[in-house]
Amino acid sequence: MSSVITTDFEKWKAQQTAAGNPVVLDEFVFAYVPDLDPAQAINRDEKLPADNHIVHRQAVNKTGLASENAVAYSVTLGTEVGSFDFNWIGLLNSASGVIGMITHAPTQKKIKTANGLQGNVLTRSFLLEFEGAAKETAITTTAETWQIDFTARLTGIDEMQRLINIDSYGEAAFFGDGFAVVRHGEQYLVKKGLAYVGGLRGMLEFDQTLNSQRNTRVYADFSYQGNLVSQWKTAGQITVANELQNYIDAAGYPHYVFAVANIDNNGDISDLRPKGTLSDRDLAELDEELGKVKQDYAPKKWVAGSFARGDESSVVIKGSYPRVNFMQSNINSDYLAFEADFNSDTRDLYMYRRDAQGDNIYVLGFPKKMGMLATLDDINSGLADTKELAENAAPREWVAEGFARGNDSSVVIQGNYPRVNFMQSNSNSDYLAFEAAFNSDTRDLYLYRRNAQGDNIYVLGFPKKTGMLATLDDISDGLAGTKQVADNAAPKLWVANNFARGSDSTVVIKGGYPRVNFMQPNSNSDYLAFEADFNNDTPDLYLYQRNARGDNIYVLGFPQETGTLARLEDITKSSALKSNDGWWECGDTGMIVQFGTVSVGDNEVVTEKFPVTFPNKCTSLVVTARSESRNGGADVLSAYGVAISQSHMRVSISTNFSAAIAGVSFIAIGY
Nearest to 236 by CA among 265, 194, 272, 275: 194
Domain ranges of the chain: 2-147, 155-276, 307-373+389-462, 464-566, 575-670
Tens of pLDDT along 48-75?
999 999 999 999 988 887 777 888 899 9
* Radius of gyration of the chain, Cα coordinates, nearest whole angstrom: 41
CATH number of 575-670: 2.60.40.3940
Q: Are 181 and 216 in contact (CB under 8 A)?
A: no
Average pLDDT over residues 437-445: 61
Report pLDDT for 174: 96
166: phi then psi, degrees, rounded to nearest 5: -65, -40
Tens of pLDDT along 140-179?
766 654 445 566 677 788 899 999 999 999 999 999 999 9
Q: Are 609 and 668 in contact (CB under 8 A)?
A: no
Neighbours of 621 (CB within 10 A): 20
Report pLDDT for 252: 82
Average pLDDT over residues 580-599: 92
Transcribe 365-428 into DSSP letters: EPPSSSSPPPPGGGS-TT-TTPPP-TTTTPPPPP-----STTTT------SSS-EEEE--TT--
544 versus 375: the higher-pLDDT residue is 544
Q: Categorize the per-residue pLDDT at 631 as very low, low, confident or very high, splitting at 50, 70 and 90.
A: low
Angle at 545 between CA 539 and CA 551, to 5 degrees: 100
Report pLDDT for 510: 42
Q: Are 319 and 400 in contact (CB under 8 A)?
A: no
Nearest to 178 by CA among 164, 195, 153: 195
- What is each CA distance from 288 to 166, 271, 293, 355, 440, in whole angstroms? 24, 20, 9, 48, 19
**Order of strands across the sheet with 636-643?**
605-609, 648-655, 636-643
378: phi then psi, degrees, rounded to nearest 5: -80, -10
Q: Are 107 and 87 in contact (CB under 8 A)?
A: yes
The H or E element that residue 217 is part of is strand 216-225
Tens of pLDDT along 119-129?
888 989 888 88
Q: Are 66 and 123 in contact (CB under 8 A)?
A: no
